[in-house]
Structure 1
Amino acid sequence: MELTVVTVPDCPNAPILEDRLVQAVAEIGMGAKASIMRRTVTDADQAVRWQMRGSPTLLVNGTDPFADPAVPPGLACRMYRDEDGHPQGAPSVAALRRVLAQALDRADDVAGQVSVKADALGRAGAGRVAPVQGGLRAVHQRVLRAFSETGAPPPAAVLAAVAAPHGASAEQVLAELHEADFLRLDAGGQIRAAYPFSAVATRHRVHIDDGPQVFAMCAIDALGMAAMLGRDVHITSTDPTDGRPVTAVVTPAGQANWEPETAVVFAGQQAACEPCTPTAASSPEAAAEVCCGYVNFFVSSASAQAWAKAHPHVEGRLLDLRAAVDLGVAIFGPLLTAGPEPAP
């Protein structure tokens, strides 16, 4: 569970919220399941981006559990009411325990939803953070950064320079990353995909704020980009049944809005393909082959169900907006923050 304390500089109530949050986390026994981050907001645009309705604001998995929809984001001081109705500069420990317990219950529900066969998206539970050994993470992160900066893979010479300090060639490292399904190569050894990015056009177009337009491998990949890059993304996709548009705006904190509001994600995978658990002797099922084409946005649950009925060879489950974003963040959020990229 990701807990983010959003404040203005030197907010006197921020330490109070953090102390109470630590106490609430300990009292409900979720210490190992929670990470507390801090975000400082200095202008109105950042307040909107991080949905800070006054300082301090708590985001639980990107959502403000104490939000009053009538109060817009802004830089003002924020007041909360305790159990007796008295104003305080931070939620009470009891209130924090309550919202954290509710979030844990929801997380269990989401885990039940996303532990479907589309788990190949996350390498059958092994995750998409490449190992440090052999230059795998250095090369992998450089590929991801190139897509985020230019919309395309980096030149071969750049990857050669990154791989060289690790005693390997770029070709060797790319082959290992392909084998473990961190990225996909075409028959000529060129990078065809580096999840969440696709080097070829897909139905999922993503515009990165202050960056290029890119293509995502699937709907979940598109929704995970903002958390991975720390920038807002604007997604344009289409319903596979009739081409009707679905759009979404996602922030790094996991805030998301999409049109139409009835839209959902269907997370599917070929029924005949069973994801394997990666071992030293085996690689995971390649998500690009078994599920990416079946993880799409639909304008409504009815549309997704109709599509699933017409494609009996695909198994999957519907995800609402929050569950779909949570899955994208869980898979792709850590990719560029999991340890520094070794300098070439």
Structure 2
Amino acid sequence: MRISVLTVPDCPNAPVVEERLAQALDGREADVERVDVGDPEQAARLGMTGSPTVLIDGADPFGLPGAHGSLSCRLYRGPDGRAEGAPSVVDLRRALDAVDFTGNCDCSPPDAADRGGRGRLAPVAGGLRAVQQVVLRHFASTGHAPVTEELEAEAAAHGRTAADIVADLAAGDFLVLDDHEGIRAAYPFSDVPTAHRVRIATGVEVWAMCAIDALGIPDMLGTDAVITSADPVIGDTITVDSADGHMSWQPSTAVVYVGQRSCTGPAADVACGALNFFTSRRTACAWARQNPDYTGKVVDQSNAEALGRSVFGSLLAAAEPREGRR
């Protein structure tokens, strides 16, 4: 990232904006330069519409339509509504974050959570959906995965063995198996500890595979729940209290980073490590810089909630009639 501070010589606000930029950058890498502008022609050529002007990768994030090159003093409206001679730290941070996350990667991150747009609801054929729903209900009622023997009755109703159906569900990325062919995860649930804990209104506590999975659990079960996670960068706790269909986030600045490692492979390997809660967009950006093997974007609370509902809300909808029955 390249940042240019365009000023007239001896502009008193130049050091102010440089100090605020340092605070807003908060350690992220950037090449910052001050450029003294001495005449209107140079101001117009460089894009300075008043002193100081901040350019981030050549663009003025605070520019106004129709503004012309100028050597006059420039004023910025701060978050409190007051006019100042330099952008506020808050506004500079927002501008920097916007540059960090413009556009999406070619591999759309939400598709990783949603099996490339195919959804998480298993097909009816072969008893897959029926057994998937038994697995999910077992997780919701006990906090743990069922053993294969506990699925035999439902599998037999479809003329198959539980092991065969479980293998098919794993092949379709509806389940994740361990080294002994036991169920390690059934999206959105995990049988092993993760960063995301969900306490259901019944008192049962479950682990979620990722942040989006955790957000989808209350809607999938049609119940209240409390989600607890931690910011991977600073370790602070994030809590989402889902009650009567409404979610309250603490802290209020919390966001979700939605990303993935590559375009292929099961979500547990491709995406779950990059679907995390963060206390703020700033820490999400910091994590993304520290993990360049993941690509993605920061998602606000309402969009994260909507994604969780769309992926998981229908998983326990009424099962289709068993094959051969009407």
TM over 0.5: yes
**Is the CA contact (8 Å cut-off) linking 2:255 and 2:300 kept in structure 1?**
yes
1:179 counterpart (171, 174, 193) = 171
The higher-RCO structure (CA 8 Å, 6+ apart) is 1
Per the alignment, in what secondary structure is the counterpart of residue 306 of structure 1? Answer: helix
The equivalent of 1:202 in structure 2 is 194
Q: Deviations over 1:252-290 (max 9, x none)?
A: 63x2111000000001111xx114xxxxxxxxx200001
- Which letter maps to 2:137? R
The equivalent of 2:276 in structure 1 is 296
The equivalent of 1:256 in structure 2 is 247
Q: What's the Cα RMSD here? A: 2.1
The equivalent of 2:300 in structure 1 is 320
Per the alignment, in what secondary structure is the counterpart of residue 227 of structure 2? Answer: strand
Distance (Å, rounded) in 2 between the aligned partners of 1:183 and 1:162: 17
Distance (Å, rounded) in 2 between the aligned partners of 1:338 and 1:197: 19
Per the alignment, in what secondary structure is the counterpart of residue 166 of structure 1? Answer: coil
Query: Are 1:165 and 2:160 matched, yes or no?
Result: no
Larger radius of gyration: 2
**Is the CA contact (8 Å cut-off) linking 1:224 and 1:325 kept in structure 2?**
yes
- Which letter maps to 1:268? G
Gaps (5+ residues) in structure 1? 1-111, 276-284
- Which letter maps to 2:120? R
1:267 counterpart (255, 258, 279) = 258
**Is the CA contact (8 Å cut-off) linking 2:148 and 2:182 kept in structure 1?**
no
Distance (Å, rounded) in 1 between the aligned partners of 2:249 and 2:113: 22
Query: Are 1:214 and 2:194 matched, yes or no?
Result: no
- Which letter maps to 1:227? D
Per the alignment, in what secondary structure is the counterpart of residue 150 of structure 2? Answer: helix
How many equivalent residue pairs? 221
Q: Deviations over 1:281-312 (max 9, x none)?
A: xxxx2000011011000000001001101111
Displacement of 1:331 in angstroms is 0.2
Displacement of 1:154 in angstroms is 2.1
Q: Deviations over 1:143-182 (max 9, x none)?
A: 0000000001223322011101211100000000000000
Displacement of 1:119 in angstroms is 1.3
Distance (Å, rounded) in 1 between the aligned partners of 2:150 and 2:294: 39
**Is the CA contact (8 Å cut-off) linking 1:236 and 1:247 kept in structure 2?**
yes
TM-score in terms of structure 1 length: 0.61
Distance (Å, rounded) in 2 between the aligned partners of 1:161 and 1:252: 35
The equivalent of 1:339 in structure 2 is 319
The equivalent of 1:154 in structure 2 is 146
- After superposition, the Cα gap between the structure-2 partners of 1:341 and 1:235, relative to the gap in structure 1 and judged at 3 Å, is farther
- Which letter maps to 2:200? I
Gaps (5+ residues) in structure 2? 1-103
Per the alignment, in what secondary structure is the counterpart of residue 156 of structure 2? Answer: helix
Displacement of 1:118 in angstroms is 4.1
Displacement of 1:338 in angstroms is 4.8
Query: Are 1:144 and 2:133 matched, yes or no?
Result: no
TM-score in terms of structure 2 length: 0.65
